Amino acid sequence: MGFVIDLILGIFDFVVDVLLFRHLRGKAGHAPRSVADDAMTVAYFDYVTLVWVALVSVGLMFLLIFAFDVPVVWGIGIGLVVAAVWGCRKYYQLIRQE
């Protein structure tokens, strides 16, 4: 039963992401596109861009902790801040993209 609930929540989350993306693009003054184009854009962002950001962030954490002897809490904190800023910047670029 837990798998079904997770699947339903995942689909709901994706639909909300697409609707939010369409709303933000409309607020930015862009012409509306088809829902399929926006869904593909959000899917690419969710499953490619964010995975890439996460992998680079984890690599940075390991590099800081193991190579430069930064305390673990600082290494994780710096990695999380870099991931958050980079992810928000990529999303902002995605919204402003024609």
pLDDT values of the chain reduced to their tens digit, one per residue, 98 residues: 899 999 999 999 999 999 999 999 999 998 899 999 999 999 999 999 999 999 999 999 999 999 999 999 999 999 999 999 999 999 999 999 86
CA atoms within 13 A on the CB side of 9: 6
The sign of the torsion formed by the CA atoms of 17, 23, 25, 27 equals: negative
Structure tokens that stand for 47 in this block: 């499953």
CA distances from 60 to 18, 34, 43, 70 (A): 30, 38, 25, 11
Could you tell me the pTM of the whole model? Answer: 0.87
* Cβ atoms 76, 35 nearer than 8 A: no
